Amino acid sequence: METVVVSIGGSVLVPDDHDNTYIIKLAKMLKDVSEKVRLFVVAGGGRIARYYIKLGRDMGADESYLDDVGIEVSRLNARMLIVALGDAAYHIPAKTFDEALSASKGHKIVLMGGTHPGHTTDAVSAMLGERAGAVRLVNATSVDGVYTSDPNKDPGAKKLDKLNFKELLSICLVVGGGAGPNVVFDPLGAKIVARSKIETRVVHGRDLAELKKALLGLEFKGTVISE
């Protein structure tokens, strides 16, 4: 069986837009897909993480502490998907890659959130992809692909169907170290998929038909990043 890692942003899982209906449908689709591929899912923190991070920052918490807050929230979001997946999923978000790999031996879908301060769950999904020998990494996000500039701000932004790893790295480095909603992939995640040449697919996570195609390695509407 091929191994696939999917990173689902918090902005896709819990934007407060019919989240329960979406998560239930997502879980059903992931169960179908897991009949065909070994599946790992990494959940992001989204607006709830940003809320707590801002609250803590306003009260003077240091940045590493706030990263830990973001990690805790991403694990809570992973738990919501575990609820919907039921017996098909390992019962808790794995805290380490070793735990995730051991858990997947039971043929369950394994969920993770964040791991360590200093990066985002994009980097976690890339590292998990390396460790698990994934053939592809799917980044399910709140935009339908990689654009030449921010499509929300620039009406002339063009969607790119394909990118190579060098181009991905140059985009991520131009943006700089700070992660945010319009950054395609965090720089560490980009470095890791590039060094291990893991095909990376960017797709709108709320479009379940396209997400399913992206997971199964079929043609889909989005951006493919490869060699």
* Binding positions for ligand UTP, rule: CB under 6 A: 9-11, 44-46, 49, 67, 70-71, 74, 114-121, 124, 179, 181
Angle between helices 121-132 and 97-104 (to 10 degrees): 50
Q: How far is the CB of 182 from ligand UTP (least distance, A)?
A: 9
User: Based on CB atoms, which residue is closest to ligand UTP, 31 or 47?
Assistant: 47
Nearest CB to ligand UTP, comparing residues 2 and 98: 98
Half-sphere exposure in the Cβ direction for 47 (13 Å, CA)? 9
**Which of 156, 122, 124, 158 has the alpha carbon at shortest distance from 140?**
122
Residue closer to ligand UTP, measured from CB, 2 or 152: 152
Q: Least distance to ligand UTP from the beta carbon of 219, Å?
A: 25
CB-neighbour burial class of residue 208 (10 A; exposed 0-12, middle 13-18, buried 19+): middle
Task: Compute the least distance from the CB of residue 158 to ligand UTP, in Å.
Answer: 22
Residue 22 CB, nearest approach to ligand UTP (Å): 15
Q: How far is the CB of 224 from ligand UTP (least distance, A)?
A: 20
- Closer residue to ligand UTP in complex, CB, 27/42: 42
Helices 187-196, 165-175: axis angle to 10 degrees equals 170
